[in-house]
């Protein structure tokens, strides 16, 4: 029973790791940083709608480069 619960918990944790982190932690880190920075700017009174999209594009470009051979 304990082994079955442990196996289920491991599978559950692995699913969310794959879903959020995948094969490149950089993108999850980049998204968290972009949203965190947006939240900080919002609290200081700036409507920072312009921040996350460019950061997402940069992080994506770096990740594609890292995934490519050569």
Partner 1 sequence: MNVALFVFATTFLASAVEAIEMVTIVIGVGATRGWRSTIIGAAAGFGVLAVVVGAAGAALTRFPIDSLRVVVGGLLLVFGLQWFRKGVVRVAARGLAGLGQLDTEDADVWTGPGIDWTAFVLAFKAVVLEGLEIAFIVVSFGAAANTARTEYGPALIGGVGAIVVIGGIGLSARQAVGRIPRSLLQLVVGVMLTTFGTFWSMEGLGVSWPAGDGAILGLLALYAAVAFGYTEIQRRRIAVLRAAIS
CB of 9 to partner 1, least distance (A): 14
Q: Which is nearer to partner 1, 9 or 60 (CB)?
A: 60
Q: Is 9 in the site for partner 1 (CB under 8 A)?
A: no
**Taking Cα atoms as reference points, which of 30, 16, 20, 13 lies closest to residue 64?**
30
The residues that touch partner 1, with contacts defined as CB under 8 A, are: 15, 18-24, 27-28, 31-32, 35, 38-39, 42, 47-49, 52-53, 56-57, 59-61, 63-64, 67-70
């Amino acid at each position: 029973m304990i082994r079955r619960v442990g196996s289920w918990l491991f599978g559950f944790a692995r699913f969310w790791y794959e879903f959020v982190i995948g094969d490149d932690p950089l993108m999850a880190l980049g998204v968290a940083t972009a949203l965190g920075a947006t939240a900080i700017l919002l609290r200081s009174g700036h409507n920072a709608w312009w921040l996350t999209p460019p950061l997402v594009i940069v992080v994506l470009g770096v990740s594609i480069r890292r995934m490519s051979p050569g």
